[in-house]
Structure 1
Amino acid sequence: MKFILSFAGVLVAILLYVRLVPSAPINPVLPVGPQKEVNGHNSDVPPGGDGDSTTTEEEPGEGPSTSVPAARPGQTYGAAITPEGAVLMSALPTALGTRDSAQLKLTGKAQAVCQAKGCWMTLPTADGKPMRVRFRDYAFFVPKDLSGHNVVVSGWAHRSTVPKADLQHYAKDAGKSSQEIAAITQDEQQLTFMADGVLVQD
Structure 2
Amino acid sequence: MAHVPTEVRRQQFIEAAIEVIAREGADGATTRKIAEAAGAPLATLHYCFQTKENLLWAIFEHLHQIVQADLEAAVPDARPAADIAADLLNGTMRRAASEPAANRAQVEIWLWAERNDPAMAVKQYDTYLQAWMGFLRAATPPLPEERLETVVRVIFGLIDGLNMQLITHGDEEMILRETATATAMLTAYLGD
TM-score, length-scaled by structure 1: 0.24
- In terms of fraction of residues, the more strand-rich structure is 1
Say which structure is richer in helix: 2
User: Considering only CA atoms, is the larger Rg found in Structure 1 or Structure 2?
Assistant: 1
TM-score when normalising by structure 2: 0.25
